[in-house]
Amino acid sequence: MPADQDTMPADQDTIPAERDAMPADQDTIPAERDAMPADQDTIPAEREQHTVVGDARWVSETLHRHWGPAWSECAPLPLSGPDGAPPLSHTAGLWRVSHRGVAHLFKVQLTAEAQRGPAFPPVKQRVLDHCAAHGIPVASAVPTAHGTVHVSRGGHDCEVLPLLPGTATAHPTPAQAAAAVRTGLALRAALDAVPAPLAADLAPIPLPALVAEEDWRAALDEARTRLLPAAHRRTDHWGRAAVRALTALLAAEPLLARYDEALATPPERRAVVHGDLHHHHFLLGDEGPRPPHVTGVLDFDNLHVGDRLLDLAWLAELAGRADEGPSGQGASVAALRTEAIRFGLLADHQLPLLMPVLIARSVPIVVDIAKDILERELLSPAWLGYFELLDTGRRLRVHRLLTG
């Protein structure tokens, strides 16, 4: 499963988006400095055996040793949304921590396949600084006591971020959807303007391969021949959820086949790509008479150089979530189409490609979740959230709105 699903909860409510600027020399930290010396990243065996990677004690110890004693004065709390539910994440541990009474986020990558390597965090920070300079509200890493933007403890990458104000919603009003789309298009413009040397530093850093079968054609074949029959044989709610998700995937096969050649062709324009601009990653403020506005764009862990249409496809999908029925969704998608073309971010001939790009990326993920349910018996409550996030039926409806 991909790191794009390390989503943040909706209750980020304490720190303004502004941050103290990081000194320029911290934007280009050599990789060898971006980790603590080995003797500082070990603890006695008798203590280590009682510490579970990513639990509260482990988080406190990491904060104390790498960010300083003041960071471990209050016990970390698992991050949760307003309803008390944990964030939609299976590759990262997310903790609410406090520093001198101010709330922050501690994030640790728990799975080896989600690690991007020591070169990635400093490059990501430089992209974040670039976006902030273009007016995008982003959460930039809090430097460690020794000046780096992350540490790796036992092979697990850790960072501390400010908690930005605002909430995320899966069912935005048309005004909220419009605010998220405007900020998303501004972010896309900022990423198009990333300096060439910075893009060149990011380009060699690969995205982690988090599923065994990444080809959408082979994944659909598995869905048709093996997984959907197995889902139909299962009579519980897991089987029913898998049937719905796999049936929707197979309904998209004609669309993917129609654009197969275009999907296999290198993109017209490679650029720095956020890669994960779904609704969980836009925090919205709606205070008093001020209209809805974005207070934070989250989770740049899927940052890479690739097809910029992916970001625009995510924004179209977000516009299609406007919670006022088909007419509201149609108006939101039409507004995105108009604005993206007006600002030169999208061409008319690219509109039919947006949903195929997004669906093709999601097919292997949905199929891998179905394997977890039907073959591996890994029944995580998060899988239902991912099925909703990656709903192919919604994307087919958005495709019709984009091209009708």
Same domain, 150 and 247: no
Q: Are 356 and 259 in contact (CB under 8 A)?
A: yes
Q: Identify the CATH number of the domain in which residue 78 sits.
A: 3.30.200.20
Q: What is the mean pLDDT of residues 186-201?
A: 98
Q: What is the pLDDT of residue 125?
A: 97
Q: What is the mean pLDDT of residues 94-121?
A: 93
Cβ-Cβ contacts under 8 Å for 27 (sequence gap 6 or more)? 122, 125, 126, 129
Q: How confident is the model at residue 50 (pLDDT cuts 50, 70, 90)?
A: low
Q: Is the pLDDT of residue 18 over 60?
A: no
Looking at the DSSP bridge assignments, the partners of residue 78 are 95
Q: Pick from 135, 162, 189: which residue ends a domain?
A: 162
Q: Is the pLDDT of residue 325 over 60?
A: yes
Q: Is the pLDDT of residue 80 over 90?
A: no
Q: Are 367 and 249 in contact (CB under 8 A)?
A: yes
Q: What is the mean pLDDT of the chain?
A: 88
DSSP line for 141-180: PPP-TTS-S-EEETTEEEEEEEPPS-B--SS--HHHHHHH
Q: What is the pLDDT of residue 34?
A: 40
Domain that holds residue 115: 3-162
Same domain, 148 and 213: no
Same domain, 146 and 201: no
Whether the CA torsion 180, 183, 189, 194 is positive or negative: it is negative
| Alpha-carbon distances of 204 from 63, 126, 200, 221, 334, rounded to whole Å | 30, 16, 7, 31, 36
> Above pLDDT 90, what percent of the chain?
76
Q: Pick from 139, 162, 185: which residue ends a domain?
A: 162
Same domain, 251 and 354: yes
The number of beta carbons lying within 10 Å of the beta carbon of residue 145 is 14
Q: Is the pLDDT of residue 269 over 70?
A: yes
Distance between CA atoms of 396 and 394, rounded to whole angstroms? 5
Q: Are 95 and 106 in contact (CB under 8 A)?
A: yes
From the list 311, 300, 111, the residue with the least C-alpha distance to 202 is 300
Same domain, 96 and 156: yes
From the list 42, 38, 142, 53, the residue with the least C-alpha distance to 99 is 142
Q: Is the pLDDT of residue 199 over 70?
A: yes
Q: What digits encode the pLDDT tens for the residues 277-308? A: 999 999 999 777 789 999 999 999 999 999 99
Q: How confident is the model at residue 310 (pLDDT cuts 50, 70, 90)?
A: very high
Same domain, 138 and 180: no
Helix (H) or strand (E) holding 29: none
Whether the CA torsion 105, 292, 357, 125 is positive or negative: it is negative
Which own/partner pairs from 234-242 qualify as long-range (CB within 8 Å, at least 24 positions apart)?
Answer: 234/374, 238/373, 238/374, 238/379, 239/373, 239/374, 241/373, 241/383, 241/384, 241/387, 242/370, 242/373, 242/374
Distance between CA atoms of 399 and 134, rounded to whole angstroms? 30
From the list 198, 217, 324, the residue with the least C-alpha distance to 263 is 217
Q: Identify the CATH number of the domain in which residue 396 sits.
A: 3.90.1200
Is residue 42 a part of any domain in this protein?
A: yes
Q: What is the pLDDT of residue 328?
A: 84
Is residue 110 a part of any domain in this protein?
A: yes
Q: Is the pLDDT of residue 141 over 70?
A: yes
Whether the CA torsion 299, 365, 250, 275 is positive or negative: it is positive
No. of helices (H) and no. of strands (E), the chain:
15, 9
Q: How confident is the model at residue 10 (pLDDT cuts 50, 70, 90)?
A: very low
